[in-house]
Amino acid sequence: MQVAELAGEQWGLITTGQARQLGVSAAELARWADRGALTRLAHGVYKITGSSYDPRDDLRAAWLGLDPKRTAIDRLAQQQVDAVVSHRSAAALHGLGDLDADVLEFTVHGRRQSRRPDVRLHTRSAPIDPRSWSRVAGLPVTTIMATIVDLAAANTDGGHLAGIVRDAVATAVVDIDDLSAALAPYAHRYNATLGNGRALVERLVSEAGLPATTERASDLVRGQGTFGQVAKFIAANTDPELFRPLVSAADSAAVNEVAKHALWDALDPETRKRFLAAIQAAASNQPQAER
């Protein structure tokens, strides 16, 4: 069945607009729902009954509903996407902070509308920058950096923004210098010196209570210590076999000031998290969780 095949390509979901192009009317979809073959998630969006439950289905259904005739594959294949998950919804998908995400938020290019009262659209006249989003759970979602900037621009309260910044810095998924520069235009809104993004980031991190061990790690990997210090810090607090090649490289005479960030940048996000977790475990004299 074409409907089932299409739904299988987009999280088990199908819109009435997509089904219509396959020769299936909205009335027929409604009858299938009455018989239990489909489950209605939202106006014009159904899910194949029996598909595994996913808490992100509501967000996916809302995204599909913003352009109900086109498939997810077609929309994501375009050089310029028309709508991305953003703001609070993006923070929730990235696992940052503790903002309520009961309203489904999207940034869209051009005119878009939704009948759903729980959907909030942020319209931009310019095309959405491809560098400002990535895929998370199959959806186009603003990057962590773009999400933080969007929330600051939307005057998100300082306490919640602090939690998001803390999580981003603690897991080292953003560069502190880049984040400081990006938040500079909003520093005065959060009682920091006008244009001083670094002061804002430090204030938010302090307010959220970033562990001292993580602060020290961030200082080292951001160039506040020598490259050799970074290597020794890693070697002393993590699995030596995991980091031995990187530590050996750090001891090379060819390493200079320009290469300060190379060790950190060489680590994939998951390894960075393990690194920081190992530091915190060592500092508290607690055994590390099994890998």
* Chain segment 242-281, per-residue pLDDT in tens: 444 444 444 443 333 323 344 455 555 666 566 655 545 5
Describe the strand order of the beta sheet including 119-124 as a list of residue ranges: 119-124, 104-109, 83-85, 139-142, 133-136
Closest to 155 in 3D by CA, of 205, 191, 121:
191
Highest mean pLDDT among 99-103, 129-133, 227-231: 129-133
Tens-digit pLDDT profile for residues 25-47: 999 999 999 999 999 999 999 99
pLDDT band at 160 (very low <50, low <70, confident <90, very high): very high
How many Cβ atoms from other residues are within 10 Å of residue 160's Cβ?
A: 17
Selection from 21, 10, 23, 11 nearest residue 77 by Cα: 10
Taking residue 281's Cβ as centre, other Cβ atoms within 10 Å add up to 16
What does the mean pLDDT of the chain come to? 79
Q: Is 70 exceeded by the pLDDT of residue 215?
A: no
- What would the pLDDT profile of 84-96 be if each residue is shown by its tens digit? 999 999 999 998 9
Q: What is the spatial distance between Cα 233 and Cα 231, in angstroms, rounded to a whole number? A: 5
Eight-state DSSP code of residue 238: S
The dihedral built from the CA positions of residue 158, 163, 164 and 165, taken in this order, carries a sign that is positive
What is the band of 219 on the pLDDT scale with cuts at 50, 70, 90?
low
Q: What is the pTM of this model?
A: 0.73
User: What pLDDT is recorded for position 232?
Assistant: 52
